[in-house]
Structure 1
Amino acid sequence: MNPTRVLLLPGWQDSGPEHWQSRWERLHGDERVRQHDWHWPKRGDWMARLDEVLLQDDAPAVLAAHSLGCQLVAAWAAHSQHTGRVKGALLVAPPDTEREDMPPQLHGWRPIRRGRLPFPSVAVISSDDPYGAAERSLQMAQDWGSSVVMAGPRGHLNAESGLGDWPEGRELVKGLAGA
């Protein structure tokens, strides 16, 4: 049996070297799904890239998404024929791309896909995320059928949030891998 692989789905502009995703890549050998354009993300292109990476290996995957990566999971799951390859998804700090103050580079991510995900998922939500009000993030999680972990006031749950290697998040991934 193939071991479960963890695919890291960074958000807009990728994740820097001290972001928990980059740390997991170094510590655990997780695979970052590298997009062709981090600055002007096109939803369809990002979805196609996720399919491409999933099809490179027969092993099942857990998706560990941050920010726009969460919106990628929702959009991809609504259209892909390969959702059966995914055991679960960790959705960290889903942004509200429908907000009026979102940068124009993210307008192509509207409307937010809100269908129930076809695999287990856990959404981790901060109470003071600058890219999405907790109430909106909670509604997205409910629409996606995700269980929710409230992280308290931790900002955008990125390097600036002081998560370090984020062992609590890693435990959530292990739970999804065993689901």
Structure 2
Amino acid sequence: MHKHILKSKAEKYNSIMINYLIVPGLGNSGAEHWQTYFENSGDNFFRINQQEWDSPICEEWIKTIDQKVIEFDLSTVILIGHSLGCSTIAHWSIKYNRQIKGALLVAPSDLEAPQYTFPAVGFTPISITKLNFKSIVVASTNDPWVSLERAKLFAESWGSDFINIGEAGHINAASGHTNWDEGMRILNTIY
């Protein structure tokens, strides 16, 4: 169903096929996660696989993103980040300054919060530089990894549209976001 929806949208926009590059956060996104659902929804969805998912180094993660992005016509690329993947995209944007079509940034983790004690190197301070492409930040009111206020600050700093979807936890499989149709609808607004 989603493949048909995306193809119809692409046909409306001069038959340009959009390439969706999925940027998971810490630990990757498992089989039940909405990012996997997105990945399986069409041939134009690609997961960016990192070498080290559990003790990430920002410089390595952004290099891996860039290697995948440059495989495509940049004007067709939309990045789909979750959690740590969102701040990784922000760091990638500063370092490589590529003009892509856009990004969907879901539940951006606040690595500067005291509860964020995971081994992640080089991701702080969180970039507050405006992104040079269209972006949407999606957040919830009860995410344990980012307060709504901080998510709004990130969106404002990055020049992103902001969507609060209410009490949705970290917007992952644990909070029931598996076949996340609302997320797919939001993604389809990045044109």
TM-score range, shorter chain: over 0.9
- Would you say the 8 A contact 2:26–2:54 is kept in 1? yes
1:99-138 to 2 correspondence within 5 Å? 99-138=113-152
In 2, the alpha carbon distance for the partners of 1:104 and 1:174 equals 32
**SS of residue matched to 2:128:** coil
Asked if 1:90 is matched to 2:104, the reply is: yes
Counterpart selection for 1:157 from 171, 175, 184: 171
1:63 is aligned with what amino acid? L
In 1, the alpha carbon distance for the partners of 2:124 and 2:114 equals 11
- Would you say the 8 A contact 1:2–1:58 is kept in 2? no
Is the alpha carbon distance of 1:171 and 1:123 closer, same or farther for their aligned partners in structure 2, counting shifts above 3 Å?
same
Which residue does the alignment assign to 1:80?
96
- Would you say the 8 A contact 1:114–1:144 is kept in 2? yes
- Would you say the 8 A contact 2:57–2:121 is kept in 1? no
Which residue does the alignment assign to 1:147?
161
Deviations 1:16-70 (A, max 9, x none): 1000001111122310000010011110101100110011223621111100010
1:65 is aligned with what amino acid? G
Counterpart selection for 1:47 from 62, 66, 70: 62
Asked if 1:5 is matched to 2:19, the reply is: yes
In 2, the alpha carbon distance for the partners of 1:106 and 1:133 equals 19
Normalising by structure 2, report the TM-score: 0.87
Deviation at 1:108, TM superposition (A): 2.8
Deviations 1:100-126 (A, max 9, x none): 221241253110001001011110011
Unpaired segments ≥5 residues, structure 2? 1-14
Normalising by structure 1, report the TM-score: 0.93
2:57 is aligned with what amino acid? K
Which residue does the alignment assign to 2:79?
63
- CA-based RMSD of the aligned residues comes to 1.4
Unpaired segments ≥5 residues, structure 1? none
In 2, the alpha carbon distance for the partners of 1:5 and 1:90 equals 13
2:184 is aligned with what amino acid? R
Which residue does the alignment assign to 1:38?
53
Q: Which runs of 4+ in 1 moved over 6 A?
A: none
In 1, the alpha carbon distance for the partners of 2:186 and 2:70 equals 24
In 1, the alpha carbon distance for the partners of 2:58 and 2:117 equals 15
- Would you say the 8 A contact 1:97–1:107 is kept in 2? no
Work out the percentage of aligned pairs sharing the same amino acid. 35
In 2, the alpha carbon distance for the partners of 1:52 and 1:130 equals 32
In 2, the alpha carbon distance for the partners of 1:14 and 1:161 equals 16
